Amino acid sequence: MEMPILQPFAIKTQKSNFLTKVWLLLFRRRQWQLTENWHYQLPNNRSIIFPKGFIFDGSSYPAIVWIFFSPTGLLLIPVIIHDFCFKYNYLWGIKDNKVYKYKPQFGFFAWCKLIRQVGIERNELYLIDYFTWLLTILFGWPLWIMLRRKVPEDLKPKLIKQ
């Protein structure tokens, strides 16, 4: 499996006072951007694609938990899927060299389950994957409710003929 190619965004702390820097350390999530389309195969063998330019922040659980469960470590793959699903409520699927919306309107709990399955498949750390699944359910639902879930057409991935 190819890993996604990511560009991190800086968290600006220069010229900030000490308390602001501590606040940023504890609560600010670094954002990442895919610099190329990234293909992934789900546990059900469905091929999906994440578009170049997709920006994600790593997860909905509190940043203090990141000390123990880094969203850019072993959890990176489930985290990218989590952020896309939660933002748009579908994935981009690929079939017969065409891109289509996979599982539109799948729903909060179904995405949580899929993300847990991907984590178990990728890292085989059942206890951690079930714990992060629980964190996703506990802390992800407020974000789920607030998001509008609209994708600009320019974010639809374009397949390159080979």
Specify which residues 39 forms β-bridges with: 49
Q: What is the pLDDT of residues 61-80, one digit of tens each?
A: 666 666 676 666 777 888 89
Per the confidence metrics, is the pTM higher than 0.85? no
Three-class DSSP labels, 5-50: CEEECCCCCCCCCHHHHHHHHHHCCCCEEECCCEEEECCCCCEEEE
122 close to 62: Cβ distance less than 8 angstroms: no
Instruction: Give the residue from 107, 106, 105, 103 showing the smallest Cα distance to 137.
Output: 107
**pLDDT value at residue 51:** 92
Phi, psi for residue 32 in degrees, rounded to 5: -130, 150
Q: Could you give the CA distance from residue 4 to residue 32 in angstroms, rounded to a whole number?
A: 11
pLDDT value of position 87 = 84
101 forms bridges with which residues in the sheet? 92
pLDDT tens per residue, range 30-50:
788 999 999 999 999 999 999
Number of H helices, E strands in the chain: 4, 7
Report d(CA 128, CA 115) in Å as an integer.
Answer: 12
Asked whether 121 and 85 are in contact (CB, 8 A), the reply is no
Band the pLDDT of 137: cuts 50, 70, 90: confident
What one-character DSSP code corresponds to residue 37? -
